[in-house]
């Protein structure tokens, strides 16, 4: 059994609302209690985005505790989504946990090499109408594989740690081993090529023609996925 936790505390013990950017750190207190009171339980700290829990997992936890890392937390910050008043200026990149500070982005990127982390894109797409033109935009980033996987390659390259072995370990084998999943069928592979391409402003879902705004829309990515089956 694996306990997967979205570890954010929204309301303090005194009943006060905790700011979005502080909720993951506030939830760490309870996460530590679970880790210490149920030793040996396999736990995943989903989409870790703040330096404090990342450092706790790397330095204080045994191998039964892992964390998922999402591409958007590797390259974007709070200022990319919110203005000084805390209002969303880019609803397309509004997510939970919210994007954090530069120090947290650095912690996420450095944690890729830790064997206590694995790729977790936290793909949560919403129709465009739920994101734009509303006073209450939905939380969640559309993070499809053709965008998420090359973004990880870019980050690893920028950090000077990109190798085929480490890339496969981070994006596949750490998670599959932790969850005790079978290996992919022989011959099913994903190939990354060094090729710059523009991320479109819209992706249309094949099953219902729903349009969504992909992560990094309008940007260029320097790696590209080629599927081989």
Q: Which residues are tagged catalytic?
A: 122
DSSP letter string, 109-136:
HHHTTSTTEEE---B----HHHHSS-SS
Which stretches within the chain are classed as H helix?
23-37, 51-60, 72-75, 102-111, 128-131, 145-158, 164-168, 174-178
Residue 212 host element (H or E): strand 211-212
CB 99 within 8 A of CB 73: yes
């Amino acid at each position: 059994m694996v306990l997967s936790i979205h570890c954010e505390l929204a309301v303090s013990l005194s009943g006060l609302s905790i700011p979005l950017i502080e909720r993951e750190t506030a939830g760490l207190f309870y996460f530590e209690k679970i880790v210490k009171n149920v030793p040996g339980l396999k736990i995943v700290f989903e989409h870790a985005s703040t330096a404090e829990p990342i450092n706790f997992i790397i330095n204080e936890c045994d191998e039964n505790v892992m964390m998922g890392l999402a591409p958007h937390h590797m390259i974007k910050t709070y200022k990319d989504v919110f203005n000084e008043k805390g209002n969303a200026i880019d609803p397309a990149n509004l997510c939970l946990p919210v994007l954090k500070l530069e120090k947290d982005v650095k912690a996420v990127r450095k944690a890729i090499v830790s064997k206590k982390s694995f790729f977790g894109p936290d793909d949560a797409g919403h129709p465009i109408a739920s994101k734009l033109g509303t006073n209450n935009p939905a939380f969640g980033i559309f993070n499809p594989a053709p965008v998420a996987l090359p973004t990880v390659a870019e980050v690893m390259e920028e950090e000077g740690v990109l190798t085929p072995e480490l890339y496969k370990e981070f994006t596949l084998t750490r998670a599959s081993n932790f969850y005790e999943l079978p290996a992919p069928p022989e011959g099913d592979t994903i190939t990354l090529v060094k090729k710059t391409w523009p991320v479109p402003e819209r992706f249309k879902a094949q099953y219902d023609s729903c349009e969504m705004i992909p992560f990094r829309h309008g940007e260029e990515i320097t790696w590209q996925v080629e599927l081989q089956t």
